[in-house]
Structure 1
Amino acid sequence: MPLNAVDNPLALRLLGLLVEQPRHQYALAVALKERYPYVNAKSGSVYTLVRSLEVAGWVAPTEVEQVGNRPTRTVYALTEQGWDVFRERVRRQIREAKVTTSAFVDALAYLGALDPAEAPDVLRERQASVEERITELEQAAGRGPMEITMIEVDFVLYQLRSEAEWLRALITRIDDGELAWPGTERT
């Protein structure tokens, strides 16, 4: 967890949603869940982060709205400073963000420790999980706004589809005995 709340990875996503249109905190939380179904962001985190963005001067209240008997909601928009910070973060993260090392990659390095009869089953479970995520994201992307505002979902889908294809090929190689397997004896 970042020491400075505005360094939270959700900050960029929230600022991006506010680039599209001013929103109140609840609308931001809903849009975040719809736009990024793979991110597990709690509504309370969104409210807290919006307050931090306001303190930093990146967002400012523009109006208070009330619909029916619902509580009043403060609508936020990006400030000029927020817009500048948003664009700089986009530039920096596209240029400098490191590929995330995942637990899957770490475990994959030791696939040979599993029995060659078990490994394909374990990989098939991973493949099923990846394909489920692909389906979820395809459904989310199909409901979303124009493609450029969802380009990161397209990128994640591309990665997941590539992973699913690679897993299928690896499973086939193991099933066909094409992939050499280390001996079971220990030294």
Structure 2
Amino acid sequence: MKRAIMLHVQNVIFLLYTFVSGVFYLCFYLVSIVLGLALSFTVVGIPLLTNVLRTTQNLVQHERIQTKIYTDISIEPLAMRPRAKGNQWMQAKTELMNVRNWISIYWLMQKFVLGCISLVIGVLIYIAPVCFAFIPLLYPFVELHFFGSVVDSGLKALQIMSLGIILMIGCSKLGNGLVLLIGGYTRLMFKAIRR
């Protein structure tokens, strides 16, 4: 029982992490690339883009590590590429022309959509059933509505609590499947980057 609870907590943490990291990747790359392109006519824009593109390698490896920790899906790490030789402009050209950087950015930014889906489903299958289980304790003190009807009796509260317990039992497989799906997304990302 304790192991099953820990697995569910781990799944909730991973689903929330997927959402937070997806928001971070979208904001970070969108803002920095737009800012770098807008400032590319000055001296600041190209070095900014170069440094942003260098982060893709570390962030992709971070995704691999998080997937291993939470889903136990092993993914072969990418070979770390050496820093380009030459002056700042040669390094910038190398980073800008590297297709792996742009593929990594594409896959990392797509994680925002997956993160939004995982947040909604995670709340529906893990957090809502637990809230339903506490309805009998709350209905005397708080006016609660459930699908348009007021929860004003112990029988209604017990029905909602039993629904919550059924959802807790039934949705555990759905949550495990969603976590494995997100782990599969990371595996697909690595396959696309390796090409």
TM-score, with length taken from structure 1: 0.27
Structure with the greater relative contact order (CA < 8 A, sep ≥ 6): 1 or 2? 2
Structure richer in helix, relative to its length: 2
Structure richer in strand, relative to its length: 1
TM-score, with length taken from structure 2: 0.26
